[in-house]
């Protein structure tokens, strides 16, 4: 483990430039390097063929950067904050989407269980669309973290929970999203304050974790407005 990760594409790299993340090097097409030239870190002009070799995308978007993974974030949460926690989340696309949703709805942090997907996976970084550089991401032992922050309500997502539209949500708390296939683990179930669900009006079996998180956070913010 080198403690580095890849950021790809014009928008994501520009977001990185304005963040506190340490940038090790940037490799971009000559026009991009000329527009955003900096003395703060290495910038290298590369050809389209060289960029394609560096990128994980089939159609690279002008630039890639190498950045350093930040030091772990303090896991002490504010008793007045809104947070999203993910239990054993596996899908990189879902993880990136949830980080982006947290950014949109002003969550204080996204907390991942220690056996969740690596948020510095290139697919997560790409799907987060720059939000990874603004929203604190915490890896933690979730039972321990919830126990240490037990003044915060825990809203758990369940297929048989009370409809989110008829549930009075608290002024602060943690929205707990379960594993894509197995939901919230038994170890955490006893720590859930409210069990909520999104009612179905059609015949789809389920919603993916990212979509469900967006709906739930939207309703939570609506109730608090």
The predicted model scores a pTM of 0.92
Q: How remote is the C-alpha of 78 from its chain's centroid? A: 19
Whether residues 108 and 149 share a domain: the answer is: yes
Residue carrying the six token digits 């943690």: 174
Residues in the chain: 225
What is the distance between the terminal CA atoms of the chain, rounded to a whole angstrom? 44
Q: How remote is the C-alpha of 72 from its chain's centroid? A: 15
Residue 178, in any domain of the structure? yes
Whether residues 207 and 100 share a domain: the answer is: yes
CB-CB neighbours of 196 under 10 Å: 22
| Mean pLDDT for the stretch of residues 178-206 | 92
Q: Are strands 63-68 and 23-28 parallel, antiparallel or unpaired?
A: antiparallel
% of the chain surpassing 90 pLDDT: 85
% of the chain surpassing 70 pLDDT: 99
Tally of domains in the chain: 2
Q: What is the pLDDT of residues 111-152, one digit of tens each?
A: 999 999 999 999 999 999 999 999 999 999 999 999 999 999
162 three-class SS = strand
Residue 109, in any domain of the structure? yes
Whether residues 125 and 88 share a domain: the answer is: yes
Whether residues 87 and 184 share a domain: the answer is: yes
Whether residues 92 and 41 share a domain: the answer is: no
Q: Which of 71-80, 98-107, 131-140, 175-184 is predicted least confidently?
A: 71-80
Residue 76, in any domain of the structure? no
- Say if residue 167's pLDDT is above 90: yes
**What is the torsion angle, in degrees rounded to the nearest 10, for the CA atoms of residue 222, residue 144, residue 134 and residue 33?**
-150
Strands of 91-209, DSSP E:
110-113, 137-140, 154-163, 173-177, 194-197
Residue carrying the six token digits 């950045």: 67
Task: Name the average pLDDT for the chain.
Answer: 93
Whether residues 26 and 99 share a domain: the answer is: no
Range of the domain at 15: 4-68
Domain of residue 33, CATH code: 3.30.1330.30
Whether residues 10 and 98 share a domain: the answer is: no
Whether 224 and 171 have beta carbons less than 8 Å apart is answered as yes
Whether 223 and 168 have beta carbons less than 8 Å apart is answered as yes
218 three-class SS = helix
Whether residues 32 and 143 share a domain: the answer is: no
Whether residues 199 and 103 share a domain: the answer is: yes
Residue 207, in any domain of the structure? yes
Whether residues 104 and 177 share a domain: the answer is: yes
Whether residues 98 and 204 share a domain: the answer is: yes
Residue 216, in any domain of the structure? yes
Distance CA 205, CA 208 (A): 10
Per-residue pLDDT at 1: 56
Residue 10, in any domain of the structure? yes
Per-residue pLDDT at 40: 78
Residue 205, in any domain of the structure? yes
Domain of residue 200, CATH code: 3.40.1280.10
Residue 74, in any domain of the structure? no
Q: Which of 37-41, 64-68, 196-200 is predicted least confidently?
A: 37-41
Whether residues 64 and 153 share a domain: the answer is: no
């Amino acid at each position: 483990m080198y403690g580095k990760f890849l950021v790809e594409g014009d928008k994501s790299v520009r977001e990185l430039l304005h963040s506190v993340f340490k940038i090790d090097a940037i490799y971009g097409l000559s026009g991009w390097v000329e527009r955003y030239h900096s003395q703060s870190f290495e910038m290298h002009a590369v050809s389209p063929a060289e960029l394609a070799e560096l990128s994980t995308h089939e159609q690279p978007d002008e630039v890639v950067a190498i950045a350093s993974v930040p030091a772990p974030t303090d896991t002490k949460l504010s008793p007045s904050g809104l947070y999203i926690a993910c239990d054993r989340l596996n899908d990189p696309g879902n993880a990136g989407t949830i980080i982006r949703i947290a950014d949109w709805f002003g969550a204080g942090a996204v907390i991942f269980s220690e056996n969740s997907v690596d948020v510095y996976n290139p697919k997560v970084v790409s799907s987060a669309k720059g939000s990874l550089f603004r929203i604190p991401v915490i890896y933690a032992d979730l039972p321990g973290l919830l126990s240490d922050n037990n003044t915060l309500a825990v809203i758990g997502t369940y297929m048989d929970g009370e409809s989110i539209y008829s549930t009075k949500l608290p002024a602060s708390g943690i929205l707990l999203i379960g594993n894509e296939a197995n939901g919230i683990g038994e170890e955490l179930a006893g720590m859930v304050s409210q069990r909520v669900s999104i009612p179905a009006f059609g015949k789809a079996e389920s919603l993916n974790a990212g979509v469900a998180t967006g709906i739930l956070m939207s309703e939570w913010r609506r109730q608090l407005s």
